[in-house]
Structure 1
């Protein structure tokens, strides 16, 4: 699935401030991540703000919970606060140098928690600092306020991939994990391409920003309490609309914790289902690890077997039978050409797929269980089926390279597989397509794993962004093919089954495909899907 990459535009040359109303400034603030990109300086100091919305009918005083908190007095009606100071203690880092001090000094600090409740448009908001969330009664707060509001404020065409690794970090606590500070390059951002944000790879912390959170986390808010109150009516407008459709996937996930009685039952069902229908489950690793993998090995003790992405489950079943142990004991290892380990873990914890239990549908992802709505999965399949077109492509035989060559020869298309378009030494390169027809670009991938398909979606979106917004990219494509700006893109996905839902049980891959289609169409291109039958060898 794709999630917003949430970037703001530059504040100008040499850090000059962008103007605009407090609402316009907020638009830039709420979508700014902790990257090295410039931020508007705004009015007043910078603060990391956590904002909550109380449920309807909850009064100002009722949102607070906890003993020992003291009252904060404000000079205006409709604003109340609480604060609490914890005991003084020395930070752990003092031990790094304490024994070298000539004389003992007191470096103890107090931890302060603050929560301030205020009323705007007949609703109660609460802003917290430090450990202020512990002063609140969580039952009195809107459970998905942050998720709903962020889903409307972050532009849908500025997306970032959600792969299995990000989903495995799906937050279940009320608080939101702060974003790690990463340079722009971490997000695959090419600042030298005007108005282009090259989306490559996945951010492991972006889901923590918007998913399942009961509060809105604003990093480096430029202003004070009165200015925050000015933009709260906009939050209410967003919240009243409900979750933005592109975020429905997150809304439909409910984590099944280990202490839940269903957890062990699901683990047992998984082992039985994997043994019964191994092809119904996918290897669940991050895109980069998948791309770099050259060696796949399953093992238990001294028993091991080399395999590949398509056969690792069957190999693991053989190892388990040979060693006389449950499948859950068998381990998986991925390594690159230099035999450097890229991934390691239990086979069952490395899978993604669906199982049914008590007439409900559950998703296993990176060793974590989620309950999902069955009607939602059906709606995904219906929407994907509407994207499918019959391009009369031949059956897939041999490797991906062999297939692309054979199709190019049959239809007179140009084979661009691995023929990258160079955008300059400092701007990198991108793959416009695997196959270029008269006015359509085909991207082809075997749909045997979610990891492979996530790579496919990122490749298509990158090409669409660059070809849609960069004249230089279009000119370079013209040099390699018969088209500069194609009419559309086609995702050619190889599958063993020629009927039924295209992507089987790959929930994340289904959402990713639909979001890829939406993004490409927003850029002015057509988008369709071609099902390619993989011939049995």
Structure 2
């Protein structure tokens, strides 16, 4: 018989670094914010209870609302909070009520603790919410809710490169007081914290904390959600971060301590693609400088090599890159973004891959990397025969277009580079650079660095998604470029043609491999096949840099 009153109450549970002094676990609080700060006894365990209120002042938008409506709005308020710190070595648990989570010092909060519990206890066939971000050049973030619950497949997560941040759904809580007493499941929320029912009785409450810790320490091999833990952001205080940052600093000066590359930030991708130059400021001594044309990794590492290795990471976080519309770097065409967000770096320690991406470190498990490489290597074996026309770089911005026009002189090829299509979802984009003899969609790129392949993938992915919804767009574009060319079906082949380097698994960053798998999935949805071509080429000379001119006021 189910009891009429539950022995537990849902709360938010965090896990904190148990080795840190207790005073450092919370953010500094003012005396007038605290109502209670006292030690409490939980069945023989000393815990600390802090409770109070945050007072919020009138919001900044209040005058605007008042001026529009003529209404007098008094919206300042108080946010009550309480937090209970419970030491259970080697951890300290924090139970929060109200705005209690705002009192925790994020530097000591275990990142992803709630997810580790959710992976092992959530029902993969009854999930209500999945929030994730793409670990690739797009940095796309999504949150999908299914109020009635659904299985994992309903959320359409990518099998690779999907960084899950939060989960919600029905969970098996048989390990806890709630599950043992009621015999029921409960809907929980899992992220950095886990929101779930904990016992009201002190002794049972402590037993529940220990049970949660035991669940987190269990193997996850049985769980359909275990892929969530394969790729995780690293805590800033992880013991390996100084080691990794030392390797990154060495690579920034030319040492081969890992794979270093240039990767455009998601917010700058369009601006960088169209930029005539890049202005770099704050990157160590020597003053600002301008890179005309294409930005290369060497432009940054040449400057960083002159900086002491211990100061290089400080320099890339302080330095800024701005895409510019003119060759002199005087006319801004995009936002000023830290240099650190333009870099990608990979290193392996004890069979685990670590990635520096968009200014943050991520851990990628060995199993994940092995499966990724196997699938991408099989994909790269699908080849497309390329005509024996070498790409000879001229150093001018229209190199790619000139080469495409040269290939278009071969029988069956049609140059569509710089011919833009338009669909309701994509107002202005390139469907492809060349149309092949069999109506293949051919995307052409000079891959000066391994990370450039990710941008080629993005271009091809946009094209594939657009054609899935607007299949007539290609026929219209081809008919305009070559009136005799008739296309009556969606192309069955998409080709990535690259110069500057070959399609070799050992030359591709992990994040680029993720992008390729994502593209392959989109192409297969069109009932088409992704193929690869190595363009014969002459190596490109290094582009010069020049001191930035003083900007016009």
Instruction: Check whether TM > 0.5.
Output: yes
Tell me what 1:487 maps to: 491
Distance 1:381 1:396, change over 3 A: farther
Distance 1:147 1:439, change over 3 A: farther
1:307 aligns with 2:299: no
**SS of aligned partner of 1:378:** helix
Q: 2:519 aligns with which of 516, 519, 530?
A: 516
Check whether the contact 1:149–1:243 (CA below 8 A) recurs between aligned residues: yes
**SS of aligned partner of 2:118:** coil
Q: CA deviation at 1:439?
A: 2.7
Tell me what 1:535 maps to: 538
Structure 1 window deviating more from structure 2 (275-284 vs 255-264): it is 275-284
Q: CA deviation at 1:436?
A: 0.8
Check whether the contact 1:517–1:528 (CA below 8 A) recurs between aligned residues: no
Tell me what 1:377 maps to: 369
Check whether the contact 1:353–1:365 (CA below 8 A) recurs between aligned residues: yes
**SS of aligned partner of 1:536:** coil
Q: CA deviation at 1:453?
A: 4.0
Distance in 2 of aligned mates of 1:231 and 1:63 = 10
- Provide structure 2 residue ranges, at least 5 long, that are not aligned to the other structure: 1-5, 14-34, 36-48, 67-71, 83-95, 103-109, 145-160, 171-183, 191-220, 394-398, 541-553
Distance 1:290 1:143, change over 3 A: farther
Distance in 2 of aligned mates of 1:445 and 1:257 = 36
Distance 1:429 1:341, change over 3 A: closer
Tell me what 2:408 maps to: 408
Higher relative contact order (CA 8 A, sep 6+): 1
The answer to which structure has the higher helix fraction is 1
CA RMSD of the aligned region, Å?
5.1
Q: CA deviation at 1:321?
A: 4.6
1:261 aligns with 2:239: yes
**SS of aligned partner of 2:405:** helix
Check whether the contact 1:317–1:327 (CA below 8 A) recurs between aligned residues: no
Number of equivalenced pairs: 387
Tell me what 2:56 maps to: 91
Residue by residue over 1:342-392, the C-alpha shift from the partner in whole angstroms, topping out at 9 and shown as x without a partner, is 354554553112112345321111221112123432332322222233323
- Provide structure 1 residue ranges, at least 5 long, that are not aligned to the other structure: 1-58, 69-83, 114-127, 170-176, 180-206, 218-228
Check whether the contact 1:349–1:367 (CA below 8 A) recurs between aligned residues: yes
Structure 1 window deviating more from structure 2 (443-452 vs 146-155): it is 146-155
Tell me what 2:353 maps to: 361
Distance 1:85 1:474, change over 3 A: farther
Tell me what 1:335 maps to: 323
Residue by residue over 1:26-74, the C-alpha shift from the partner in whole angstroms, topping out at 9 and shown as x without a partner, is xxxxxxxxxxxxxxxxxxxxxxxxxxxxxxxxx97386578x9xxxxxx
Q: CA deviation at 1:417?
A: 0.8
Q: CA deviation at 1:302?
A: 3.5
Distance in 2 of aligned mates of 1:470 and 1:476 = 11
Tell me what 1:316 maps to: 300
Check whether the contact 2:250–2:257 (CA below 8 A) recurs between aligned residues: no
Distance in 1 of aligned mates of 2:392 and 2:123 = 45
**SS of aligned partner of 1:353:** strand
Check whether the contact 2:249–2:312 (CA below 8 A) recurs between aligned residues: yes
Q: CA deviation at 1:484?
A: 3.3
Q: CA deviation at 1:267?
A: 0.9
The answer to which structure has the higher strand fraction is 2
Q: CA deviation at 1:434?
A: 1.1
Length-normalised TM-score, structure 2: 0.56
**SS of aligned partner of 2:273:** helix
Tell me what 2:77 maps to: 108
**SS of aligned partner of 1:166:** coil
Distance in 1 of aligned mates of 2:58 and 2:164 = 33
Distance in 2 of aligned mates of 1:303 and 1:385 = 44
Distance 1:435 1:87, change over 3 A: same
Distance 1:312 1:530, change over 3 A: closer
- Trace 1:187-266 onto structure 2 (pairs within 5 A): 211-215=164-168, 242-243=224-225, 248=227, 251-266=229-244
1:282 aligns with 2:261: yes
Check whether the contact 1:363–1:370 (CA below 8 A) recurs between aligned residues: yes
Distance in 1 of aligned mates of 2:440 and 2:61 = 62
Tell me what 1:143 maps to: 118
Residue by residue over 1:224-267, the C-alpha shift from the partner in whole angstroms, topping out at 9 and shown as x without a partner, is xxxxx99979x9xxx987149xxx5x642232222222111111
Q: CA deviation at 1:513?
A: 1.1
